[in-house]
């Protein structure tokens, strides 16, 4: 759903052909979203069918014509409406780690507690990478889209932090309940 | 540069003996940015206080650059604190009656160096902290972030071997905190050893290494890889 | 700005930021120093004025020959003149005179030999007569008098004007022949001096053929000591040859007890000031605990922290002491007159006109102020320097107990009290050592007691509060409950403020008890001894015991008896004389007449035989102080110097007597006249015929005899009342000093309450937010203050009773050698309690207002 609006958003700024669209997409949201060309083109086809985008052909030497995509009036309206509507769906609770929890050994909390620590360390390292990238971003603030990139990294950091906090709570609760049993 | 061997700290709370720290051994290398994490009451601050010479262990040994911090007199410890350690606190701990620049000069003034000789350096530091316009302001006239930057300047004026920070952003909002961490991260990049107590993993992520304390003992020690490039 | 500068910088800012506290500290120390300085200066000035009088009035004279106070025969003069080495020996008649123009003015009258006196003393006349070589020639006529420029200006006296002077014969007029420049002798008694021809003076003051003094100048090259010995050898026993300075020493020793007493009491003020400083510094350290923590964390050593706070105390104490010196000088100027008057009435006539400031007292004041402040600050500062930087920064709650636990304090308290008891016992029973006999030693016993009780204060206050909580009226009262809880929270600190109140009240009750009891003893004695109906005296009754006045002719008793309604009148004469190097009082009564209606309070000897032993015989009765000081009793003999030489008298009895603390010797009038040839009287005791109206008889006497002289005719009750008043007046300074002490104690309460109000800002905010009224908030604070005042008051009264008793046992016994019964001064105790509650309530007002002003929102966000 959001891929559709991301592409509308990119085309709202500038008319682009498919390849340029992919680069721009990667630059803006690639941090947490990667799409292949197939996905890009199938989405463009869908958008054209809904009359949200249209394309012009541009002739090239020795190669097939390039399709230059642009947003339609309907597309622009729909984009604006989407931009002004809050997101209703919050983050999914479904998590791989949670599935591991479901199947943990209820008699011996040792392995799961070890896992929690490893997971936390993993998150910390991830946060460290994000932070380092943010710090280097900060050093070249002239870069056009550094703000959104930074905000995106912040989001990642906050999510990771939340995960670490949740894992800490898990460990503490597991210890408290299972510690009693043993 | 800092080596802690089997350090323990216990004290009496009424008639009850409390072990704030048990048998902690730790080496902190020069240039590291170490974060100490752990639940409240886990002994984070106690460990930091021992490293900074604010307190002495009841057992074990602590060395800074090979010189012991344990079993020495209060005056000797005080001088190490004054000359080798820079402190940054959660509540900034600036003297409210002094101006920013006077606060920054404080450690060297205690050393007996005349104000006029320190002031240029203090002003320079404040300028580096982005407080060039605020040198003559008193803490009450500064925002939280500004106060903490004054405190960092104060900690740096002695060119300390190690910078200790105890929840340096505990009283600041996220955005201001980030500015402070960027400052610290820059300092670390230039080679400043930093030890920071925090409960905020976002803060720890700026560092190079994270240790976690539990019930006064060392529980985890995670190296985060190199400093930012 | 170096380190010292920085610390000074921090301190000066604090001094300014904690205005109220700084002000109170300064005010307290300032008052204490002022008390010490003013009393010191005044005491010194009075002594100085004696010295000046002696030195000025003696001119070039190197030695003075004195004998019995009533004067000695002129023949002695010739004997002195013939001693080898004597250049000039000039006679002097020295007497007190009253200028009876409008408001009476006392002055000293010097009768000198107009022909030779200028060889020893130099006089100079005011400019209009400057060409006359010897001003004394003006005095050739018997009605002539010279007055000083000071007197002339003040009284508006012109040359050739007649002035009225009280003499033995009554008021006489003298013609002013010249006015003396204020130089040399003319500076005596602050310029209250008149000069007469010696012959005229002898006549006017009943000293025909007798002189009071011979002033001697020495030939060049003669040794003072040699000539002194020669003169002593040439004279009969009973004469004293002294240098003028030596004579001032006598006076100094005479006044020393009185003056030391005042000095010591003035020190109480600074001690209370120490309590104040102790609290102020402790509070400042608690309040700045975080600052200490930060400084320590940044690398300030303990020494640096100590220096910071001691430096602040030093700074404040220097300012306060300097102000105190200034205030002390102002005080001294305003009280020197009153104290001079008291000393004149009690001891010797003096006319201090102003204060003389020597460097000692300002320096003493500053040293006392600074040392006391620093000493008081040491303990809290030491504690402050030991504050752990970790707990200070983390705002771990400050526990005030620490080193000063209740048990330790109580042990120290008990030790001090035992020490006080030991010192008192040494004073009382081990009087062979001069140290143990001294007033200061006794004083230290009181000090230990007070200190001991101060240390007990936290325990007492705790008990007092729980007692207070049991009161049904207050048990369910929120304000009472809060006040009690607040007091208990900073127990030690509050106890120090209470101890200051305690100290002030104890000084007050101590003085009151001492005065009350000695007064009771004296009055009991007076009631027994003075049985007449009317007293006729030459001076105000207040001066009837010690000071010198213009006496009346002895035979005036006959004139008094001629007044209708008078049954009898009999004379009393008093003289001071030198006995074994001590000034003692000679009290002369007509034994035969006196025995008809009055009697002695005999402690040793047979009362029934007294009349027979004394009348017309060379026997005497001595007072208890005399008996104990010179170790004599019935059956012993004493040798007294008389104008006719040394005479041996038998001691018939020892009696209770409070006339003079050095000792009194009673002598029969007839015997006195035989040896002294003195025909003067200082007082007449008049009895009224049965059924006559005392007041009418009094008026008749006044009318008949008071016409041409200053005469005080008082019904005996009024006479006694006047004496009572005089005794009260004597202790006016003790009361004044205890009020000063109380004032300092009140500053202590203000500092303490202010601190506790500021510390509980948040708590007050919470109380206000849940609906406590402003007036309830301030009510709690005032209630705390009153509770502290009453607690201090109660213990202070207790301590005051004990120290008063020690004083009485010690000082009174030392002075009069008789035990005075201790009377608890209930009236004063009531006053003390009212004062302690009232003053502390006043002291609570300012902190209460501060508490009531607390802004609720701000207080709740207060960190």
Q: What is the mean pLDDT of residues C80-108?
A: 78
Residue B63 or residue C175, greater confidence: B63
Q: What is the mean pLDDT of residues B196-217?
A: 92
Instruction: Note whether B206 and B183 are within 8 A (CB).
Output: no
Residue C323 or residue C58, greater confidence: C323
When CB atoms are compared, the residue of A124, A165, A168 closest to B205 is A124
Q: What is the pLDDT of residues C203-249, one digit of tens each?
A: 888 787 888 888 888 888 888 888 888 888 888 777 888 887 777 77
Burial code (b: 16+ CB inside 10 Å, e: under 16) for B180-189 equals bbbbbbebbe
Helix, strand, coil distribution of chain B in percent, nearest 5: 35, 30, 35
Between the two ends of chain A, the Cα-to-Cα distance in Å is 48
> Token match 């209740």: residue?
C406
- Looking at residue B227, its pLDDT comes to 44
| C96: pLDDT strictly greater than 80 | no
- Looking at residue C545, its pLDDT comes to 43
Compute how many other C-beta atoms are within 10 angstroms of the C-beta atom of residue C237: 10
Query: Per-residue confidence at C547, pLDDT binned at 50, 70, 90?
Result: very low
Q: Report the alpha-carbon distance of residue C679 to residue B60 in Å, rounded.
A: 101
Residue C307 or residue C114, greater confidence: C307
| Average pLDDT taken over every residue of chain C | 81
Q: What is the mean pLDDT of residues C545-560?
A: 72
SS3 B72: coil
| Average pLDDT taken over every residue of chain A | 81
Instruction: Note whether A31 and A12 are within 8 A (CB).
Output: no
| C440: pLDDT strictly greater than 90 | no
Compute how many other C-beta atoms are within 10 angstroms of the C-beta atom of residue C631: 8
In this predicted structure, which of A136-140, B103-107, C537-541 has the lowest mean pLDDT? C537-541
CB contact under 8 A, C6 and B111: no
Instruction: Note whether C77 and C251 are within 8 A (CB).
Output: no
Query: Per-residue confidence at C811, pLDDT binned at 50, 70, 90?
Result: low
Residue C643 or residue A135, greater confidence: A135
| C727: pLDDT strictly greater than 80 | no
Q: Which helix (H) or strand (E) holds B2?
A: strand B2-13
Q: What is the mean pLDDT of residues A103-131?
A: 86
Whether B141 has its CB under 8 Å from any CB of chain A: the answer is no
Please name the residue of chain B whose CA is at the shortest distance from the CA of residue A114.
B220
Please name the residue of chain B whose CA is at the shortest distance from the CA of residue C11.
B97
Whether B109 has its CB under 8 Å from any CB of chain C: the answer is yes
- Looking at residue C371, its pLDDT comes to 93
Residues of C in contact with B49 (CB under 8 A): 390
Domain boundaries, chain A: 3-83, 96-181
Q: What is the pLDDT of residues C17-55, one digit of tens each?
A: 677 788 888 888 998 899 889 888 888 888 877 777 777
Whether C819 has its CB under 8 Å from any CB of chain B: the answer is no
Query: Per-residue confidence at B34, pLDDT binned at 50, 70, 90?
Result: very high
CB contact under 8 A, C299 and B102: no
Query: Per-residue confidence at C801, pLDDT binned at 50, 70, 90?
Result: very high
Q: Report the alpha-carbon distance of residue C403 to residue A40 in Å, rounded.
A: 79
Instruction: Note whether C178 and C141 are within 8 A (CB).
Output: no
Q: Report the alpha-carbon distance of residue C300 to residue B179 in Å, rounded.
A: 30
Q: What is the mean pLDDT of residues C157-163?
A: 82
Interface chains of chain C (3 or more CB pairs under 8 Å): B
- Residue window 380-419, chain C: list those with CB within 8 Å of chain B: 388-390, 393-394
Residues of B in contact with C312 (CB under 8 A): none
- Looking at residue A145, its pLDDT comes to 66
Query: Per-residue confidence at A181, pLDDT binned at 50, 70, 90?
Result: low
Which residues, at least 6 apart from A88, have a Cβ–Cβ distance to it below 8 Å? none
| A28: pLDDT strictly greater than 50 | yes
Say whether pTM exceeds 0.90.
no
CB contact under 8 A, B93 and C17: no
In this predicted structure, which of B122-131, B201-210, C345-354 has the lowest mean pLDDT? C345-354
Percent of chain C scoring above 70 in pLDDT: 87
Query: Per-residue confidence at C136, pLDDT binned at 50, 70, 90?
Result: low
CA separation, residue C410 to residues B205, C452, C692, C796 (Å): 57, 8, 66, 18
Q: What is the pLDDT of residues C382-396, one digit of tens each?
A: 888 888 887 777 665
Q: Report the alpha-carbon distance of residue A122 to residue C555 in Å, rounded.
A: 126
Strand ranges for chain A from DSSP E: 16-17, 53-60, 63-71
CB contact under 8 A, C299 and B97: no
Q: What is the pLDDT of residues B157-176, one digit of tens each?
A: 999 999 999 999 888 888 89
Query: Per-residue confidence at C146, pLDDT binned at 50, 70, 90?
Result: confident
C808 alpha carbon, distance to own chain's centre? 16
Closest Cα in chain B, distance from residue C491 (Å): 20
Instruction: Note whether A160 and A126 are within 8 A (CB).
Output: yes
Whether B79 has its CB under 8 Å from any CB of chain C: the answer is yes
Q: The domain A3-83: what is its CATH number?
A: 1.10.10.10
Q: What is the mean pLDDT of residues B96-108?
A: 86
- Looking at residue C255, its pLDDT comes to 74
Which among C544, C549, C555, C545 is positioned nearest to C679, based on CA atoms? C555
Q: What is the mean pLDDT of residues A128-139?
A: 85
Q: CA dihedral in degrees (C175, C181, C184, C187; nearest 10)?
A: 80
Q: What is the mean pLDDT of residues C708-713?
A: 75
| C640: pLDDT strictly greater than 60 | yes
- Looking at residue C134, its pLDDT comes to 63
- Looking at residue B161, its pLDDT comes to 92
- Looking at residue A37, its pLDDT comes to 81
Which residues, at least 6 apart from C613, have a Cβ–Cβ distance to it below 8 Å? C619, C650, C652
Residue C60 burial (CB < 10 Å; 0-12/13-18/19+)? Answer: middle
| C130: pLDDT strictly greater than 60 | no
Query: Per-residue confidence at C366, pLDDT binned at 50, 70, 90?
Result: very high
Whether B17 has its CB under 8 Å from any CB of chain C: the answer is no
Instruction: Note whether C744 and C504 are within 8 A (CB).
Output: yes
Compute how many other C-beta atoms are within 10 angstroms of the C-beta atom of residue B199: 18
Q: Report the alpha-carbon distance of residue C95 to residue C99 in Å, rounded.
A: 13
Token pair belonging to C304: 């640096």
When mean pLDDT is compared over A73-82, C273-282, C754-763, C785-794, the highest value belongs to C785-794
Q: What is the mean pLDDT of residues B39-68?
A: 90
Q: What is the mean pLDDT of residues C337-360?
A: 74
When CB atoms are compared, the residue of B39, B200, B225 closest to A125 is B225
| B229: pLDDT strictly greater than 50 | no
Q: Report the alpha-carbon distance of residue B44 to residue B20 in Å, rounded.
A: 9
| A64: pLDDT strictly greater than 50 | yes
- Looking at residue C546, its pLDDT comes to 43
Instruction: Note whether C452 and C417 are within 8 A (CB).
Output: yes
| C438: pLDDT strictly greater than 80 | no
Domain boundaries, chain C: 1-55+248-398, 63-242, 456-530+724-863, 539-710
Q: CA dihedral in degrees (C217, C219, C222, C225; nearest 10)?
A: -20
Q: What is the mean pLDDT of residues A67-73?
A: 87
Percent of chain C scoring above 90 in pLDDT: 9
Bridge-based pairing of strands C144-148 and C72-73 is: unpaired
Closest Cα in chain A, distance from residue B220 (Å): 8
Residues of B in contact with C6 (CB under 8 A): 102, 105-106, 109-110, 115
Helices of type H across C122-243: 149-155, 198-204, 224-234
Q: What is the mean pLDDT of residues C704-712?
A: 74
SS3 C594: helix
CB contact under 8 A, B222 and A138: no
Q: What is the pLDDT of residues B84-98, one digit of tens each?
A: 999 898 888 888 878
Q: What is the mean pLDDT of residues C659-682?
A: 85
Q: What is the mean pLDDT of residues A99-125?
A: 85
Task: Establish how many alpha carbons lie within 13 A of residue C846's alpha carbon, considering only the half-sphere containing its beta carbon.
Answer: 16
CB contact under 8 A, C291 and B79: no
Whether B222 has its CB under 8 Å from any CB of chain A: the answer is yes
Q: What is the mean pLDDT of residues C474-495?
A: 79
- Looking at residue C696, its pLDDT comes to 87
Q: Do C and A touch, counting CB pairs below 8 Å (3 needed)?
A: no
User: What one-character DSSP code corresponds to residue C139?
Assistant: G
Please name the residue of chain A whose CA is at the shortest distance from the CA of residue B224.
A125
């Amino acid at each position: 759903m959001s891929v559709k609006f991301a592409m509308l958003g990119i085309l709202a700024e500038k008319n682009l052909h498919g390849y340029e669209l992919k680069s721009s997409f990667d630059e803006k949201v690639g941090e947490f979203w990667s799409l292949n060309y197939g996905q890009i083109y199938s989405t463009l086809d869908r958008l054209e069918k809904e009359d949200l985008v249209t394309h012009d052909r541009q002739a090239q030497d020795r190669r097939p014509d390039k399709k230059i995509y642009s947003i339609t009036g309907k597309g622009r309206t729909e984009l604006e409406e989407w931009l002004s509507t809050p997101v209703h769906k919050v983050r999914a609770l479904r998590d791989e780690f949670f599935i591991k929890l479901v199947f943990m050994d209820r008699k011996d909390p040792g392995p799961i507690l070890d896992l929690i620590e490893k997971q936390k360390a993993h998150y910390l390292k991830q946060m460290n990478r994000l932070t380092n990238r943010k710090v280097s971003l900060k050093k070249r603030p002239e870069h056009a889209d550094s703000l959104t990139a930074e905000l995106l990294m912040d989001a990642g950091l906050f999510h990771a932090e939340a995960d670490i906090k949740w894992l800490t709570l898990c460990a503490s609760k597991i210890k408290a309940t299972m510690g009693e049993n043993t | 540069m800092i080596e802690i061997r089997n350090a323990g700290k216990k004290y009496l709370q009424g008639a009850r003996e409390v072990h704030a720290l048990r048998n902690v051994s730790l080496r902190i290398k020069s240039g590291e940015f170490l974060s100490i994490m752990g639940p409240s009451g886990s002994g984070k601050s106690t460990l930091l206080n021992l490293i900074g010479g604010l307190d002495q262990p009841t057992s074990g040994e602590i060395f800074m650059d090979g010189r012991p911090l344990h079993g020495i007199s209060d005056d000797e410890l005080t001088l190490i604190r004054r000359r080798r350690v820079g402190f940054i606190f959660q509540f900034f701990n600036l003297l409210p009656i002094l101006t920013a620049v006077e606060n920054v000069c404080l450690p060297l003034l205690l050393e007996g160096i005349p104000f006029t000789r320190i002031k240029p350096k203090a002003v320079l530091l404040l300028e580096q902290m982005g407080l060039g316009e605020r040198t003559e302001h008193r803490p009450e006239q500064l925002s939280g972030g500004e106060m903490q930057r004054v405190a960092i300047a104060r900690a740096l004026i002695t060119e300390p071997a190690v910078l200790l920070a105890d929840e340096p952003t505990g009283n600041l909002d996220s955005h201001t905190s980030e500015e402070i961490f960027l400052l610290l991260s820059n300092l670390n990049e230039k080679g400043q050893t930093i030890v920071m107590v925090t409960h905020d993993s976002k803060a720890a992520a700026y560092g190079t290494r994270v240790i976690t304390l539990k019930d006064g003992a060392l529980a985890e020690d995670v190296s985060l890889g190199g400093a930012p490039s | 700005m170096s380190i010292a500068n920085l610390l000074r910088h921090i301190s000066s800012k604090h001094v300014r930021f904690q205005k109220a506290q700084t002000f109170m500290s300064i005010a307290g120390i300032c008052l204490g120093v002022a008390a010490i300085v003013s009393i010191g200066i005044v005491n010194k000035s009075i002594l100085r004025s004696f010295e000046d009088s002696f030195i000025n009035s003696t001119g070039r004279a190197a030695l003075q020959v004195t004998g019995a106070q009533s004067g000695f025969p002129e023949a002695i003069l010739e004997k002195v003149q013939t001693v080898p080495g004597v250049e000039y020996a000039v006679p002097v008649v020295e007497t007190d005179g009253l200028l009876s123009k409008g408001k009476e003015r006392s002055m000293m009258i010097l009768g000198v030999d107009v022909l030779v006196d200028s060889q020893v003393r130099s006089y100079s006349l005011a400019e209009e007569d400057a060409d006359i070589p010897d001003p004394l020639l003006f005095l050739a006529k018997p009605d002539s008098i010279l007055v000083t420029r000071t007197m002339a200006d003040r009284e508006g006296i012109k040359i050739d004007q007649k002035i009225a002077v009280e003499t033995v014969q009554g008021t006489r007029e003298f013609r002013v022949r010249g006015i003396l420049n204020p130089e040399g002798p003319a500076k005596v008694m602050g310029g209250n001096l008149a000069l007469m021809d010696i012959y005229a003076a002898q006549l006017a003051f009943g000293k025909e053929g007798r002189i009071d003094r011979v002033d001697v100048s020495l030939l060049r090259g003669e040794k003072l000591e040699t000539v002194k010995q020669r003169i002593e050898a040439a004279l009969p026993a009973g004469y004293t040859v002294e240098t003028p300075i030596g004579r001032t020493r006598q006076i100094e020793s005479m006044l020393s007890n009185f003056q030391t007493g005042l000095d010591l009491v003035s020190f109480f003020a600074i001690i209370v000031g120490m309590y104040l400083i102790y609290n102020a510094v402790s509070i400042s350290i608690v309040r700045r605990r975080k600052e200490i923590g930060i400084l320590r964390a940044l690398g300030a050593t303990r020494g640096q922290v100590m220096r910071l706070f001691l430096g602040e105390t030093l700074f404040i104490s220097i300012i306060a002491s300097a102000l105190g010196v200034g205030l002390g000088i102002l005080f001294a100027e305003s009280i020197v007159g009153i104290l001079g008057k008291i000393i004149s009435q009690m001891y010797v006539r003096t006319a201090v006109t102003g204060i003389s400031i020597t460097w000692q007292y300002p320096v003493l004041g500053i040293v006392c102020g600074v040392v006391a402040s620093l000493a008081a600050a040491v303990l809290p500062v030491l504690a402050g320097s030991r504050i752990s930087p970790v707990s200070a920064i983390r705002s771990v709650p400050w526990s005030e107990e620490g080193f000063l636990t209740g048990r330790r304090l109580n042990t120290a308290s008990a030790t001090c009290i035992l020490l006080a008891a030991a010192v008192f016992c040494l004073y009382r029973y081990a009087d062979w050592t001069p140290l143990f006999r001294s007033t200061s030693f006794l004083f230290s016993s009181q000090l230990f007691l007070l200190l001991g009780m101060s240390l007990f204060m936290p325990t007492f206050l705790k008990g007092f509060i729980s007692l207070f909580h049991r009161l049904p009226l207050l048990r369910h009262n929120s304000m009472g409950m809060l006040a009690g809880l607040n007091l208990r929270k900073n127990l030690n600190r509050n106890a120090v403020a209470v101890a200051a109140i305690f100290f002030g009240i104890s000084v007050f009750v101590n003085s009151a008890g001492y005065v009350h009891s000695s007064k009771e003893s004296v009055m009991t004695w007076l009631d027994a001894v003075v049985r007449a109906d009317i007293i006729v005296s030459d001076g105000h009754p207040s001066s009837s015991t010690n000071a010198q006045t213009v006496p009346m002719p002895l035979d005036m008793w006959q004139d008094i008896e001629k007044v209708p309604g008078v049954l009898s009148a009999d004379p009393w004469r008093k003289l001071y004389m030198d006995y074994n190097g001590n000034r003692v009082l000679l009290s002369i009564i007509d034994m035969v007449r006196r025995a008809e209606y009055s009697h002695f309070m005999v402690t040793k000897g047979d009362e029934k035989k007294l009349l027979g032993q004394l009348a017309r015989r060379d026997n005497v009765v001595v007072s208890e102080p005399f008996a104990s000081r010179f170790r004599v009793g019935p059956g012993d003999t004493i040798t007294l110097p008389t104008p006719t030489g040394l005479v041996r008298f038998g001691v018939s009895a020892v009696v209770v007597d409070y006339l003079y603390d050095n000792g009194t010797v009673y002598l029969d009038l007839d015997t006195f006249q035989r040896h002294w040839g003195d025909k003067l009287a200082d007082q007449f005791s008049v009895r009224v015929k049965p059924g006559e109206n005392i007041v009418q008889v009094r008026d008749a006497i006044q009318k008949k005899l008071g016409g041409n002289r200053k005469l005080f005719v008082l019904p005996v009750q009024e006479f006694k009342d006047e004496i009572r008043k005089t005794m009260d007046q004597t202790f006016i300074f003790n009361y004044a000093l205890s009020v000063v002490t109380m004032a300092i104690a009140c500053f202590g309460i203000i500092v303490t309450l202010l601190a506790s109000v500021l510390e509980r800002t948040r708590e007050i905010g919470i109380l206000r937010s849940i609906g406590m009224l402003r007036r309830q908030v301030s009510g709690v604070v005032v209630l705390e203050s009153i509770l502290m005042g009453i607690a201090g008051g109660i213990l202070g009264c207790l301590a005051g009773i004990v120290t008063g008793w020690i004083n009485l046992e010690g000082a009174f016994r030392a002075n009069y050698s008789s035990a005075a019964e201790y009377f608890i001064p209930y009236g004063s105790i009531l006053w003390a309690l009212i004062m302690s509650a009232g003053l502390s309530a006043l002291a609570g007002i300012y902190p209460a207002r501060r508490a009531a002003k607390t802004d609720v929102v701000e207080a709740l966000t207060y960190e």
